[in-house]
């Protein structure tokens, strides 16, 4: 649906010094997906969002929506294609002197849509974002979460194919954040949207995204489906998406275990205990991410117990476990 090809953005200072903000970014966002772009402050996330929305023109590269390169267009052709991308930012940027209804209707009025169609469409959008009872309210009468809902409704007014959400939940309280995440997931289905989330909040990524890209110093250094990334134990994204939570009684780390796609034997620790092999859990986490039950575990095996390594590894394999190198934190998945 939306593809970035070798996208770059650079500035030159008054002294002529070159500053590269985006460096040869290529990214294919799957149609109908919620794809997140994450990275540290200053990595280039906001500039990327502005380039995709064509609020800033890329220095090089292409932005294709439904196969059409937006960077080659101008005038009416560009305005027509830009309607395929709806944008909502950290600040909903609502007009304070206009009501909720008037804010949502604004792009339709600019486009010259006839009044009765505006009436019908704004009503539907208000219902979709759960604000039918706030049509006559002004932005100052709304909570932060409600203002973002108005911003989302306005972004959908022209029936875009892509919704670009740049830090749309930043600054909201946890309850409002959760409501926006739930809303975006529902609107994705209702309007057949492809959603691109630009965010620094990993909780939002865990709850909403299907795929995630990591941007670092203007480059995409990692991209993939979340469930696949969780199988990469040493990836930056895995450690940020799913950090280990140390337990109070931590001991020196002996080894780490990885749960594979196989069904894991639920009583593997007690089985090892019956064989005289003591297991201490040093750090662990378990939660549902992108519809998958995933977890991470770091364990210590009692050094006073001597056991046959080959037999130990064979047993782990039969139980759906694999032993990895010491001192490494390995992702695991439990299914079934």
Contacts of range 91-95, beta carbons closer than 8 Å, 24 or more positions apart: 92/139, 92/147, 92/148, 92/150, 92/151, 93/151, 94/139, 94/147, 94/150, 94/151, 94/154, 95/139
**The total number of residues written for the chain in this structure:** 336
* Residue reference for tokens 């650079």: 10
**Mean of the pLDDT values across residues 106-113?**
91
With 0-12 CB in 10 A as exposed, 13-18 as middle and 19+ as buried, what is 190?
exposed
Number of domains in the chain: 2
Tokens of 225: 């489906």
Per DSSP, the three-state class of 119 is: helix
| Phi-psi region at 44: left, alpha or beta (left = phi > 0; alpha = psi -120 to 50) | left
Same domain (yes/no): 240, 148: no
Same domain (yes/no): 306, 194: no
pLDDT of residue 97: 92
Contacts of range 324-327, beta carbons closer than 8 Å, 24 or more positions apart: 324/233, 324/255, 324/256, 324/257, 324/258, 325/255, 325/256, 326/253, 326/254, 326/255, 326/256, 327/253, 327/256
Same domain (yes/no): 256, 223: no
Same domain (yes/no): 196, 328: no
Domain with residue 106: its CATH number is 3.40.50.300
Q: What percent of the chain has pLDDT over 70?
A: 82
User: How far from the centroid of its chain's Cα atoms is residue 287's Cα?
Assistant: 16
247-to-25, 142, 211 alpha-carbon distances in Å: 40, 42, 30
pLDDT of residue 331: 34
Same domain (yes/no): 161, 270: no
Same domain (yes/no): 35, 108: yes
Same domain (yes/no): 31, 56: yes
As a whole number of angstroms, the distance between CA 172 and CA 180 comes to 9
Question: Angle at which helices 115-128 and 144-155 pack, to 10 degrees?
Answer: 130
As a whole number of angstroms, the distance between CA 213 and CA 202 comes to 12
pLDDT of residue 251: 42
Structural domain boundaries enclosing 128: 2-229
Same domain (yes/no): 14, 80: yes
pLDDT of residue 322: 62
Same domain (yes/no): 180, 122: yes
Using 50, 70 and 90 to split pLDDT, how confident is the model at 139? Answer: very high
Same domain (yes/no): 154, 69: yes
Report whether pLDDT(102) > 60: yes
User: Average pLDDT of the chain?
Assistant: 82
Which of residues 197, 229, 261 is at a domain's end?
Answer: 229
**Among the listed residues 24, 30, 89, 20, the one whose alpha carbon sits nearest the alpha carbon of residue 55:** 89
Report whether pLDDT(248) > 70: no
Same domain (yes/no): 266, 129: no
Tokens of 20: 């590269």
Which of residues 200, 229, 258 is at a domain's end?
Answer: 229
Task: Count other C-beta atoms under 10 Å from residue 220's C-beta.
Answer: 21
- Which helix (H) or strand (E) segment is 274 a member of? helix 268-274
pLDDT of residue 136: 94
**Among the listed residues 230, 279, 281, the one whose alpha carbon sits nearest the alpha carbon of residue 259:** 230
Which of residues 209, 229, 249 is at a domain's end?
Answer: 229
As a whole number of angstroms, the distance between CA 57 and CA 305 comes to 64
Domain with residue 256: its CATH number is 3.30.70
Same domain (yes/no): 166, 305: no
pLDDT in tens, 197-232: 999 888 888 889 999 999 999 999 999 888 787 777
As a whole number of angstroms, the distance between CA 141 and CA 132 comes to 14
* Residue reference for tokens 């620094």: 200
Residue 295 · residue 206 · CB < 8 Å: no
Residue 28 · residue 3 · CB < 8 Å: yes
């Amino acid at each position: 649906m939306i593809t970035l090809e070798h996208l770059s953005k650079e500035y030159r200072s008054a002294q002529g010094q070159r500053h590269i903000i985006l460096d040869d970014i290529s990214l294919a966002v799957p149609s109908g997906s919620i794809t997140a772009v994450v990275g540290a402050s200053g990595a280039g996330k906001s500039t990327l969002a502005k380039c995709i929305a064509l609020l800033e023109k890329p220095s090089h590269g292409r932005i294709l929506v439904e196969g059409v390169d937006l960077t080659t267009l101008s005038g009416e052709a560009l305005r027509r294609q830009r309607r395929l991308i709806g944008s909502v930012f950290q600040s909903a940027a609502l007009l304070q002197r206009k009501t909720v209804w008037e804010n949502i209707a604004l792009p339709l009025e600019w486009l010259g849509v006839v009044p009765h169609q505006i009436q019908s469409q704004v009503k539907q959008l208000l219902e979709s974002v759960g604000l039918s009872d706030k049509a006559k309210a002004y932005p100052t009468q709304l909570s932060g979460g409600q203002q973002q809902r108005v911003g989302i409704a306005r972004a959908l007014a022209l029936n875009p194919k892509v919704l670009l959400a740049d830090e749309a939940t930043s600054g909201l309280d946890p309850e409002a954040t959760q409501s926006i995440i739930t809303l975006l997931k529902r609107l994705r289905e209702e309007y057949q949207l492809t959603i691109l989330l630009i965010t620094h909040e990993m909780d939002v990524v865990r709850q909403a995204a299907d795929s995630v890209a990591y941007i670092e110093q203007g480059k995409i250094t990692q991209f993939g489906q979340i469930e696949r990334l969780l199988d990469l134990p040493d990836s930056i994204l895995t450690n940020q998406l799913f950090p280990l939570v140390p337990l109070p009684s931590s001991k020196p780390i002996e080894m780490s275990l990885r749960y594979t796609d196989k069904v894991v034997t639920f009583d593997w620790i007690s089985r090892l205990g019956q064989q005289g092999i003591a297991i201490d859990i040093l750090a662990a986490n378990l939660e549902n991410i992108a519809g998958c039950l995933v977890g991470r575990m770091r364990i210590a095996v009692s050094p006073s117990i001597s056991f046959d390594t080959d037999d130990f590894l064979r047993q782990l394999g039969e139980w759906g476990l694999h032993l990895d190198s010491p001192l490494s934190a390995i992702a695991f998945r439990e299914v079934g």
